[in-house]
Amino acid sequence: MLKKRALSYLFVVVSSIFIQSCAMQLGAEIQWDSKDQILMSERSQVKMRSIQTRVYDSTDKVEIMRGIISTMQDLFFDIDVIDHESGIITGKKLYQSGGAWENNPTYYTYKTDNLVVFSTNYRTYGPFQYRNDLIRISVTIRPKGETQLMVRVSIQHNIRAIEEPEVYQTFFKLLGQSQFLSTKM
């Protein structure tokens, strides 16, 4: 009897360990360094930079920044930071992806100034598991030579850089249309 009981306990422990080891890992990947994100990229950094960058024949930084801001707003991004001196504009956009967050109680307690949180409900670190509906965009403008400005766009979704060239082509197409309209007015 004692041997049967010990075997049943052993079976429960072994099966619990087996089930736990097969469980899907929940949570986001925490990246403490930008090198982590670079290493996760499937494209070479030279290709990514060429996809993300356009050069405009203009020295009017304010006009280019206005075009970028209106393009971001046309794409439903909320503008977070506008820094004229350093030429940086950042924004974010939220979208609902099939009810991924509506039943998640930690979604409503997320604060953007906390980069790492601990959730006892899901035993994971990182707010981005709960914010997989968040897209971040960062645009930098800097001079290139005497007569040109270089615009670089970086877009992230779910902590990873978006690598599809179509996304950047769409952004730059809308920016070009915005620049064209502003020169005609």
User: Within 13 Å of residue 115, how many CA atoms lie on the same side as its CB?
Assistant: 6
Q: What is the pLDDT of residue 23?
A: 56
Per-residue pLDDT of the chain (185 residues; tens, 9 = 90+): 777 788 788 888 878 777 776 655 555 555 555 556 555 666 678 888 889 999 999 889 999 999 999 999 999 999 999 999 999 999 999 876 555 545 554 444 445 444 444 444 444 444 444 466 788 999 999 999 999 999 999 998 877 788 889 999 999 999 999 888 776 66
Kindly report the backbone phi and psi dihedral angles of residue 20, in degrees, each rounded to the nearest multiple of 5, phi listed first. -65, -35
The pLDDT value given to residue 123: 44
Q: Hey, where are the domains in the chain?
A: 52-95+134-185, 97-132
Q: Is residue 134 within 8 Å of residue 128, measured between CB atoms?
A: yes
Structural fold of domain 52-95+134-185: TATA-Binding Protein (3.30.310)
d(C-alpha 118, C-alpha 109), whole Å: 11
> How many other CB atoms sit within 10 Å of the CB of residue 51?
19
- Secondary element (H or E) of residue 51: helix 45-52
Q: The whole model's pTM is what?
A: 0.62
